[in-house]
Amino acid sequence: MEAKKRLIFPLDAPDGKQARQLIRLLQNEVGLFKVGLELFVAEGPQFFRTMAAEAGTDFFLDLKFHDIPETMSRALKNLFSGVALTTIHCDQGARLLRAVQETQDRGINVLGVTVLTSIDGKDLLAAGIDPRYANPPRELVLLRAGLAKAAGCSGVVCSGQEAQVVKERFGSDFIVVCPGIRPEWSVAPEDDQKRIMTPSEAIKAGADYIVVGRPIRLAADSVAAARMVVAEIAAALQ
């Protein structure tokens, strides 16, 4: 997979007008656009069906589905054309196998959510997570990655700090997507990410895809910033 295809850019926009501007600006610079709750609730699925057809781009639908297996199965069946990746909470393990398999049979890779990159060991301890898994979160990530594997997921979302151990435990074909990526040259004010890595570090650790948002979106020249990230990915792959 070429370097550009490994870069995911989140469409952190409040409405479709701003999202369209970002897509048009960066559609030749990134591999996938990530859609989160804010924009999806604002615009609904038809907007993304239209954009997938108009711009010829694919989406990472990061809605983190979480419900009983039957409800999740029905929701996943309604995923629209243009979705390449999507996310679920995988705490029910093999009970989700049918829903996940049906989705992946349509060419959509389902990823299990492990531990958000805005959370660290202290946060997990405060939430009542067993100290054996909380600090550092690596063991919890591996536990949840195992549940994702049992559910039939193609891979997981985790921080770059856990990418290597996930690959070692579950194999090179198990997809790893890493948010919380911050190039050394970037400035991200009021950053809520805690478990971060540079693009080079994450790729060398085994990440298949990296998510880079604010360092590109807030740059004086977003296209140039995206190209710098892709160049760093390419260098790390060599």
The verdict on whether residue 32 carries a ligand-binding annotation is: no
Q: Give how far Cα 61 sits from Cα of 4, 68, 84, 153, Å.
A: 19, 19, 8, 15
Catalytic residue flag (residue 91): no
The verdict on whether residue 65 carries a ligand-binding annotation is: yes
Catalytic residue flag (residue 221): no
Of 4, 5, 58, 64, which residue is the catalytic one? 64
The verdict on whether residue 182 carries a ligand-binding annotation is: yes
The verdict on whether residue 66 carries a ligand-binding annotation is: yes
The verdict on whether residue 18 carries a ligand-binding annotation is: no
- Range list of β-strands (E), 74-145: 83-89, 109-113
Catalytic residue flag (residue 62): yes
The verdict on whether residue 162 carries a ligand-binding annotation is: no
Of 15, 67, 130, 221, which residue is the catalytic one? 67
The verdict on whether residue 91 carries a ligand-binding annotation is: no
The verdict on whether residue 68 carries a ligand-binding annotation is: yes
Residues forming the active site = 62, 64, 67
Binding site: what residues are annotated? 12, 34, 62-71, 117, 182, 193, 213-214
Which residues fall in the annotated binding site for substrate? 12, 34, 62-71, 117, 182, 193, 213-214
